[in-house]
Structure 1
Amino acid sequence: MTEPHTDTRPVPGARVDFGPGVLLAAVAVLVLLLAAILPWTGLGASGWEVVLGRPGVTGLPRLFGTLAVVFGVVGTAVTLLTARWPAVFVTAAGCAITSVTGLWAVWSQNTSAGDGPGVGLFLALLAMFVLTARWAGYAFSRQ
């Protein structure tokens, strides 16, 4: 008598079980939102002012801020609400691209005239690193 075949691979479109590690992603989103009210540039522009297009802010901090909102906040929220594998992969990739853009944004503030990057920019970059690691961990855990 043969035993029935049991396939343990996830079904495409199956829901993701995030487990307790998802709390770290939630805290990182809160840190990212906190960083948005802190100064990002030597001009004293906060993260929200950078994203909304304050005059005098260069393109890289604006791009980083926009991507951080799209992938760090909205992407994380959508992924948590839907708990689907495709959302995990898109959010992981988007957070990784955003992290690289954040490094460029810090570099651009160090090389431009002014007082350099603000504490909010560093905090946002740290939050994006945490989100990248968390979502990449979930993405690579899929069998």
Structure 2
Amino acid sequence: MTESSTAPAPSARVDFGPGALVAAVAVLVLLLAAVLPWTGLGASGWEVVLGRPGVTGLPRLFGTLAVVFGVVGTAVTLLTRRWPAVFVTAAGCTITSVTGLWAIWSQNTSAGTGPGIGLWLALLAMIVLAGRWASFAFSRR
């Protein structure tokens, strides 16, 4: 008699456990940050994403990526529970976090009064999401 030495195939679905709650709370914080001021001009996150005149490109790029990966990507990943969605969301949230750092830097170096509390809060939420999704992505066996 011979025993089969093949390992069982990994599950196509992800079990998030309590980590899903952390991601959901981070999305709520991100949505809260969207109504707070992001720029020295007093533009909220939604105004930045929708193209308020006078807002530079980096905050607009960060806001757009935060909506795409932070809100929509997280929602799709939590609903589908598929590994490819986890990897795409982890990569997207990481890139968005770096873009958020650049957005804050651009607000500090512009003639305005610097970044608003909403931009800082959005960056914090994106860093939490990037860490959460990366930990799920690296946990696959």
With normalisation by structure 1, the TM-score equals 0.95
Give the structure 2 partner of residue 72 of structure 1.
70
Structure 2 residues without counterparts, runs of 5 or longer = none
| Alpha-carbon distance in 2 for matches of 1:19, 1:97 | 25
Give the structure 1 partner of residue 53 of structure 2.
55
| Alpha-carbon distance in 1 for matches of 2:64, 2:108 | 20
| Alpha-carbon distance in 2 for matches of 1:136, 1:9 | 21
What are the Cα deviations for residues 48-90 of structure 1, in whole angstroms up to 9, with x where unaligned?
0000000000000000000000000000001011110000000
| Alpha-carbon distance in 2 for matches of 1:44, 1:136 | 33
Structure 1 segment 1-20 matched on structure 2, within 5 A: 1-5=1-5, 7-11=7-11, 14-20=12-18
Give the aligned length: 141
Moved over 6 A (4+): none
User: AA paired with 1:56?
Assistant: G
User: AA paired with 2:32?
Assistant: L
| Alpha-carbon distance in 1 for matches of 2:62, 2:9 | 36
Give the structure 2 partner of residue 29 of structure 1.
27
Matched position secondary structure for 1:63 = helix
Give the structure 2 partner of residue 98 of structure 1.
96
Residue 8 of structure 1, CA deviation: 3.7
Coordinate RMSD, CA, aligned: 1.1
Residue 20 of structure 1, CA deviation: 1.1
Matched position secondary structure for 2:18 = helix
User: AA paired with 2:22?
Assistant: L
Residue 9 of structure 1, CA deviation: 4.2
| Alpha-carbon distance in 2 for matches of 1:122, 1:40 | 8
User: AA paired with 1:140?
Assistant: F
What are the Cα deviations for residues 8-39 of structure 1, in whole angstroms up to 9, with x where unaligned?
4415xx11111111110000000000000000
